[in-house]
């Protein structure tokens, strides 16, 4: 007993072990596998051909561009719809409850929701295409925009608003000069949480455009389905690079804005 | 009241009420503030002082009553159109702007008159322009200089200390050249030393700028130091409006006396003019005009109570020393005289248990009418030996039939307080607690807002929920006349009895008259 207690002491560190193990198994190892696969051909020989295949084909570049475009448009739409909603909700005493209503659809699996959306569009005779894809994207990712915005806006001290009024600002000026700048951290979290998943998403575009619109996530899935592990791996790495770059840009913005406090939500 | 408001009064509050969920945060506040005055709203937390200030700033809408500024009714004017600026309790400096931009915030929004022009219809139109960049820079620099922060314009506000943030907040308000500066406990977050310095600086600024300051604080020392006029508030009501000297020397009631400075408050009886009895002794005093044998409150400031030798011929009563505590420049000595505790300040130390004589100059005995002599409630008999008080049936001794309108009286001694609200017939909240030498006088606010006065041996915490019980034989039930019943239905105010209401109204009116005549003489002086 004594010997064991000498070797193994229950410190705070110990509680992180399960998570470290999880990270190793499901994040680090797959990443290494992807990295290795990117440099292997079908016969497991070292090669750079995969890069040539991916960067040389115009179609995969178009898919990548499309993905980024859909991501940007979806994020902008979410922001335009989400900000007013979050602003109104945070000024309501029952706002917290109503935010839950916006989150409630997330309790249902997104595939089921997307299939249902598709069924509704078909029933209404709406032509499936870019419009329906964007609708599905916004519908899926809007809660991720509203949540951080609501938290940030309702966290703004009311005395800032009163101070601005006191100094002669009318309602519009109060919003532009205090509420908006003070909610920058929320806007950035919202953008991060919508943009990154949208550029990597799959299935939504395929289902809601009847396979007409093909996004990056879909083509990664396709490559792996077709056994093109090398090309799929490279695509994944490209995606990862985009995620990292956008995260860095967001973080920089956030630091510049010197927001009240940084919160994930 | 059709007469013109004298322009000398910059702000007037007329019968201001603010009600939250049926509870009065501010009750019938009437106040006149003269141009250039330093007025302090003073009271314990929750007394309605900040709410009153926020109604002047425009952040709260009064439930009824009006706010008059420069003779114009601004009750419904939004805050951004009022020529007042506020220094907030936690400063509320914009974290996304640096010091310069915080101070320039108001200037950038301000429109200044820029000549007139005649439009096509032939009307003269006032033109406005914004301040130029240079003008803004000049003004901000001057404001920064005024608060001794010259080189701080590019600093981030979060990098400043509390005192510096405080100065920026003051500069941000003053740079707009407001007619009235509102300060909401601006020194509350500073340490003692800094607070003392800022007090002097604020007083100096007030003198130099000549604008009106309205200051909110719970610190009575701060109020006494800084103000031209103090408004003491308690439970949403204005208790007294007077100069600091008058507030200290002649408190209007036991609450003010208890809140301002330390003092001993004792119950006594006014035997006749210039003769008052308390502590079992008859004292000479300088007050008159009371009814013979009227019960009154006597207030004695600790520095006015002189300790003498017990055989000293000037000693009026003897007392034994209960405790003596060193306070730096004096000893605080608690004495027991005829069962009443008295507090005195003396430079000499006395031993516990020592018997001493006490002397008070007749002039230093402050005698006040009691706010209320007995709890009185107009109600009805609701059954056999049952009477309704504050929504519950109390047992009593009466042979009056059900439904008879009655007046119920309960002595302060007979209101029994129970620790558990469930144990009482009704529950109430302790809203005031004043030590009266040998017992505590509590004000208990029942859920229907009636205030019970109760004398108790124990100190209860303010804000505590307690229960109220009254022994059946202690409830005095008297029938009321029908004519009085009629009157009762017309009186809307539920917390004050008609007599109290009349007295209160008279007081306000007297105050208004005094203010007005005061203001009139001022205008004459000016002319």
pLDDT at position B493 is 40
For B106, the closest chain A residue by CA position comes to A167
Residue B464 domain flag? yes
Contact at 8 Å (CB) between B57 and B83?
no
Both B356 and B386 in a single domain?
Answer: no
Q: What is the CA radius of gyration of chain A?
A: 23
Contact at 8 Å (CB) between B285 and B279?
no
Which residue's entry shows tokens 């190793």?
A24
* Angle at alpha carbon of residue A114, lines to A111 and A120, rounded to 5°: 145
Instruction: With beta carbons under 8 A apart, name residues in chain B contacting A177.
Output: 105
Buried b (16+ CB within 10 A) or exposed e, B261-290: bebbbbbbbbeeeebbebbeeebebebeeb
pLDDT at position B5 is 46
| Cβ pair A167:B92 closer than 8 A | no
pLDDT band at A85 (very low <50, low <70, confident <90, very high): very high
CA distance B219 to B215: 11
Instruction: With beta carbons under 8 A apart, name residues in chain A contacting B156.
Output: 258
Contact at 8 Å (CB) between B40 and B217?
yes
For A256, the closest chain B residue by CA position comes to B96
Q: Residues 62 to 91 of B: which have CB under 8 A from any A CB? A: 78-80, 84-86, 88-90
CA distance B201 to B255: 30
Both B432 and B359 in a single domain?
Answer: no
Classify residue B91 by its DSSP letter.
B
* Angle at alpha carbon of residue A233, lines to A230 and A238, rounded to 5°: 130
- Selected for mutation to probe chain B from A167, A169, A259 (highest B CB count within 10 Å) is A167
What are the structural domains, with CATH classification, of chain A? 57-257 (1.10.3720.10)
Both B477 and B401 in a single domain?
Answer: yes
Question: What is the ipTM for the molecules in this complex?
Answer: 0.73
B434 burial via Cβ count (<10 Å: 0-12, 13-18, 19+): middle
Tell me: pLDDT of A126 over 80.
yes
Q: Could you give the C-alpha distances from B199 to A240, B164, B226, B291, B326, in angstroms and in order?
A: 59, 14, 7, 44, 27
B217 — phi, psi (to 5°)? -155, 160
When CB atoms are compared, the residue of B78, B92, B106 closest to A157 is B92
For A183, the closest chain B residue by CA position comes to B96
Q: Could you give the C-alpha distances from A30 to A24, A25, A217, A236, B141, in angstroms and in order?
A: 9, 8, 17, 11, 60
Residue B306 domain flag? yes
Buried b (16+ CB within 10 A) or exposed e, B379-407: bbbbeebbbbbbebebbbebebeeeebbb
| Cβ pair B176:A177 closer than 8 A | no
The whole-number average pLDDT for the span A108-127 is 90
Both B297 and B361 in a single domain?
Answer: yes
The whole-number average pLDDT for the span A55-75 is 89
When CB atoms are compared, the residue of B96, B106, B110 closest to A182 is B96
Instruction: With beta carbons under 8 A apart, name residues in chain B contacting A184.
Output: 96
Contacts of B316 (CB under 8 A, 6+ apart): B281, B283, B357, B358, B359, B360
B220 touches chain A (CB under 8 A): no
CA distance B222 to B200: 10
CA distance B48 to B67: 16
pLDDT tens, position by position, for chain B (527 residues)?
444 445 688 999 999 999 988 888 999 999 999 999 999 999 988 888 999 999 999 999 999 999 999 888 999 999 999 999 999 988 899 998 999 999 999 999 888 888 778 887 778 888 888 888 999 999 999 999 888 888 888 888 888 888 889 889 999 998 998 989 999 998 887 888 888 888 998 898 899 888 999 999 998 889 998 999 999 998 888 999 999 999 888 888 888 888 887 888 888 888 888 888 888 888 888 888 888 888 888 888 888 889 988 888 888 888 999 999 998 888 999 999 888 888 999 888 888 888 999 999 988 888 888 877 888 888 888 888 888 888 888 888 888 888 888 888 888 888 888 888 888 888 888 888 888 878 888 888 888 878 888 888 888 888 888 888 888 888 888 888 755 544 444 333 444 455 555 555 555 555 555 545 444 444 444 43
Domain boundary among B171, B195, B229: B171
Residue B25 domain flag? no
Contacts of B176 (CB under 8 A, 6+ apart): A167, A168, B85, B106, B107, B110
When CB atoms are compared, the residue of B57, B95, B156 closest to A166 is B57
Both B363 and B382 in a single domain?
Answer: no
- Region at B36 (left for phi over 0; alpha for psi -120 to 50; beta for the rest): left
DSSP letters for chain A: -HHHHHH----GGGGGHHHHHHHIIIIIHHHHHHHHHHTB-TTS-B-SHHHHHHHH-HHHHHHHHHHHHHHHHHHHHHHHHHHHHHHHHHTSTTHHHHHHHHHGGGGS-HHHHHHHHHHHHHHTTPPPSHHHHHHHHHHHHHHHHHHHHHHHHHHS-HHHHHHHHHTT--HHHHIIIIIHHHTHHHHHHHHHHHHHHHHH--SHHHHHTTT-S--HHHHHHHHHHTT-HHHHHHHHHHHHHHHHHHHHHHHHHHHHHT-S-----
pLDDT at position B507 is 55
For A169, the closest chain B residue by CA position comes to B80
Contacts of B63 (CB under 8 A, 6+ apart): B17, B18, B19
Tell me: pLDDT of A15 over 70.
yes
pLDDT at position B107 is 92
CA distance B324 to A74: 76
Please report which helix (H) or strand (E) contains residue B259, including its range. helix B254-259
CA distance B418 to B414: 12
User: Can you give the CATH number for the domain in which B399 is found?
Assistant: 2.40.50.140
To the nearest whole angstrom, how far is the Cα of A195 from the nearest Cα of chain B? 25
pLDDT at position B194 is 82
- Selected for mutation to probe chain A from B20, B81, B92, B110 (highest A CB count within 10 Å) is B92
Residue B249 domain flag? no
pLDDT at position A72 is 94
Q: Residues 381 to 410 of B: which have CB under 8 A from any A CB? A: none
Domain boundary among B332, B348, B369: B369
When CB atoms are compared, the residue of B88, B106, B172 closest to A159 is B88
Residue B197 domain flag? no
Residue B362 domain flag? yes
Domain boundary among B129, B145, B171: B171
pLDDT at position B504 is 52
For A171, the closest chain B residue by CA position comes to B80
To the nearest whole angstrom, how far is the Cα of B176 from the nearest Cα of chain A? 8
Tell me: pLDDT of A133 over 50.
yes
Q: Spell out the long-range contacts of B15-21 with Cβ–Cβ below 8 A and sequence spacing 24 or more.
A: B15/B64, B15/B65, B15/B66, B16/B52, B16/B55, B16/B62, B16/B64, B16/B65, B16/B66, B16/B67, B17/B62, B17/B63, B17/B64, B17/B65, B18/B48, B18/B51, B18/B52, B18/B55, B18/B60, B18/B62, B18/B63, B18/B236, B19/B63
Nearest residue to B302 via CA among B257, B255, B262, B356: B262
Instruction: With beta carbons under 8 A apart, name residues in chain B contacting A258.
Output: 95-96, 156
Residue B350 domain flag? yes
Domains identified in chain B, total number: 3
To the nearest whole angstrom, how far is the Cα of A164 from the nearest Cα of chain B? 8
When CB atoms are compared, the residue of B89, B96, B173 closest to A257 is B96
Beta-ladder partners of B417 = B468
pLDDT band at A167 (very low <50, low <70, confident <90, very high): very high
Q: Could you give the C-alpha distances from A197 to A82, A209, B419, B421, in angstroms and in order?
A: 17, 19, 59, 56
When CB atoms are compared, the residue of A167, A178, A259 closest to B85 is A167
- Selected for mutation to probe chain B from A93, A152, A163, A165 (highest B CB count within 10 Å) is A163
SS3 B263: coil
Instruction: With beta carbons under 8 A apart, name residues in chain B contacting A157.
Output: 90, 92
Look up residue B14 and give its two tokens.
Answer: 């007329």
B102 touches chain A (CB under 8 A): no
Contact at 8 Å (CB) between B280 and B306?
no
Both B433 and B467 in a single domain?
Answer: yes
Instruction: With beta carbons under 8 A apart, name residues in chain A contacting B110.
Output: 168
Residue B411 domain flag? yes
Both B161 and B103 in a single domain?
Answer: yes
B189 touches chain A (CB under 8 A): no
Look up residue B277 and give its two tokens.
Answer: 């009895």
pLDDT band at A80 (very low <50, low <70, confident <90, very high): very high
Classify residue B5 by its DSSP letter.
P
| Cβ pair A160:B94 closer than 8 A | yes
Both B472 and B402 in a single domain?
Answer: yes
| Cβ pair B58:A177 closer than 8 A | no
For A185, the closest chain B residue by CA position comes to B96
Contacts of B345 (CB under 8 A, 6+ apart): B302, B303, B305, B327, B330, B331, B332, B333
Q: What is the mean pLDDT of chain A?
A: 86
* Half-sphere exposure for B300 (CA within 13 Å, toward CB): 28
The strand order across the sheet containing B375-383 reads B392-395, B386-389, B375-383, B405-410, B476-479
Domain that holds residue B114: 95-171
When CB atoms are compared, the residue of A159, A167, A259 closest to B105 is A167
């Amino acid at each position: 007993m004594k010997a064991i207690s000498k070797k193994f002491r229950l410190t705070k560190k110990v509680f992180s072990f399960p998570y470290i193990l999880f990270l190793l198994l499901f994040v680090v190892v797959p990443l290494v596998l992807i990295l290795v696969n990117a440099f292997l051909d079908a016969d497991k020989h070292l090669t750079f051909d995969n890069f040539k295949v991916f960067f040389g084909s115009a179609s995969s570049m178009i898919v990548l561009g499309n993905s980024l475009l859909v991501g940007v448009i979806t994020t902008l739409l979410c922001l335009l719809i989400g900000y007013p909603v979050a602003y109104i909700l945070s000024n309501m005493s029952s706002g917290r409850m109503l935010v839950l209503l916006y989150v409630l659809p997330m309790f249902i699996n997104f595939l089921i929701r997307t299939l249902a959306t598709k069924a509704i569009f078909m029933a209404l005779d709406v032509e499936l295409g870019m419009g329906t894809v964007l609708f599905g994207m916004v519908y899926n990712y809007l809660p991720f925009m509203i949540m951080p915005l609501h938290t940030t806006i309702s966290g703004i001290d009311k005395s800032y608003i009163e101070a601005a009024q006191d100094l002669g600002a009318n309602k519009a000026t109060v919003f532009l000069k205090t509420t908006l700048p003070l909610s920058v951290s929320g806007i950035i979290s919202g953008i991060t949480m919508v943009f990154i998943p949208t550029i990597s998403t799959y299935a939504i575009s395929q289902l809601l455009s009847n396979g007409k619109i093909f996004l990056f996530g879909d083509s990664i899935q396709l490559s792996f389905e077709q056994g093109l592990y090398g090309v799929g791996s490279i695509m994944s790495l490209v995606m990862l690079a985009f995620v990292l770059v956008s995260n860095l840009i967001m973080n920089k913005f956030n630091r510049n804005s010197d927001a009240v406090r940084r919160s994930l939500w | 009241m059709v007469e013109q408001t004298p322009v000398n009064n910059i702000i007037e509050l007329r019968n201001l009420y603010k009600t939250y969920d049926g509870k009065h945060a501010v009750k019938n506040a009437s106040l006149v503030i003269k141009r250039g005055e330093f007025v302090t709203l003073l009271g314990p937390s929750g007394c309605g002082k900040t709410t009153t200030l926020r109604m002047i700033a425009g952040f709260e809408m009064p439930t009824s009553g009006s706010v008059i500024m420069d003779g114009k009714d601004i009750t419904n004017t939004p805050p951004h159109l009022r020529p007042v600026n506020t220094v907030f309790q936690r400063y509320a400096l914009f974290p996304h702007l640096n010091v310069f931009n915080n101070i320039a915030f108001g200037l950038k929004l301000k429109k200044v008159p820029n000549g007139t022009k005649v439009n096509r219809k032939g009307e003269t139109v006032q033109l406005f322009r914004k301040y130029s960049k240079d003008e803004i820079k000049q003004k901000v620099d001057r404001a920064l200089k005024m608060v001794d922060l010259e080189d701080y314009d590019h600093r981030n506000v979060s990098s400043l200390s509390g005192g510096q943030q405080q100065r920026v907040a003051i500069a941000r308000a003053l740079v707009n050249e407001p007619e009235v500066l509102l300060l909401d406990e601006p020194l509350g977050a500073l340490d003692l030393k800094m607070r003392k310095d800022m007090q002097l600086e604020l007083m100096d600024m007030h003198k130099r700028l000549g604008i009106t300051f309205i200051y909110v604080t719970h610190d009575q020392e701060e109020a006494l130091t800084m103000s031209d006029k103090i408004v003491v508030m308690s439970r949403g009501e204005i208790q007294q409006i007077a100069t600091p000297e008058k507030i200290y020397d002649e408190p209007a009631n036991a609450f003010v006396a208890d809140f301002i400075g330390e003092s001993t408050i004792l119950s006594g009886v006014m035997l006749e003019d210039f003769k008052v009895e308390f502590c079992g002794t008859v004292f000479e005093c300088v007050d008159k005009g009371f009814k013979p044998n009227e019960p009154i409150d006597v207030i004695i400031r600790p520095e006015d109570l002189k300790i003498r030798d017990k055989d000293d011929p000037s000693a009026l009563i003897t007392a034994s020393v209960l405790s003596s505590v060193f306070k730096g420049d004096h000893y605080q000595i608690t004495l027991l005289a005829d069962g009443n505790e008295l507090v005195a300040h003396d430079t000499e130390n006395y031993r516990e248990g020592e018997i001493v004589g006490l002397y008070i100059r007749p002039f230093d005995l402050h005698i006040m009418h009691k706010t209320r002599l007995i709890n009185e409630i107009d109600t009805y008999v609701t059954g056999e030996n049952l009477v309704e008080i504050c929504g519950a049936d109390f047992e009593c001794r009466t042979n009056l039939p059900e439904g008879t309108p009655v007046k119920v009286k309960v002595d302060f001694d007979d209101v029994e307080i129970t620790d558990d609200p469930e144990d009482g017939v009704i529950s109430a909240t302790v809203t005031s607690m004043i030590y009266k030498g040998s017992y505590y006088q509590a004000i208990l606010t029942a859920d229907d807002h009636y205030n019970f006065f109760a004398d108790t041996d124990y100190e209860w915490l303010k804000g505590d929920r307690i229960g109220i019980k009254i022994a059946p034989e202690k409830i005095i039930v008297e029938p009321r006349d029908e004519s009085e019943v009629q009157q009762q239905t017309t009186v809307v105010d539920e917390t004050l009895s008609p007599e109290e209401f009349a007295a209160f109204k008279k007081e306000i009116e007297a105050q208004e008259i005094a203010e007005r005549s005061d203001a009139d003489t001022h205008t004459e002086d000016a002319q």
